[in-house]
Amino acid sequence: MIDQVAIRRSLGFDLVTVDEWLDLDRGEKLQLLREQRVEFLADGEEVPTREALEELRELTPAA
């Protein structure tokens, strides 16, 4: 289960919670993913992006 999300900034990274990731607006998330600046983590291990997004989609309330 994904518990953290690492986001690359200019020189380093930020580690945010799943809730903080979900709170970002869709455009920002899309841009970060396009630029490959995001890594999803479960207990410290990397989760492939597709698998992570599928898991997170389950947590996102339907629009």
Closer Cβ to another protein, 23 or 54, answer by number: 54
Q: How far apart are CA 26 and CA 59, in angstroms?
A: 14
Phi and psi at 55, nearest 5°, equal -65, -40
Interface positions, 15-34, toward another protein (CB under 8 A):
15, 26, 29-30, 33-34
Q: What x-and-dash track marks residues 44-63 binding another protein by CB under 8 A?
A: xxx-xxx--xx--x------
- Which residue, chain included where needed, has tokens 């970060």? 32
> Cα(44)–Cα(49) distance, rounded to whole angstroms?
15
| 38 lines the binding site for another protein (CB under 8 A) | yes
Query: Cβ of 61: how many Cβ atoms within 10 Å?
Result: 5
Binding site for another protein (CB under 8 A): 1, 3-4, 6-15, 26, 29-30, 33-34, 36-46, 48-50, 53-54, 57
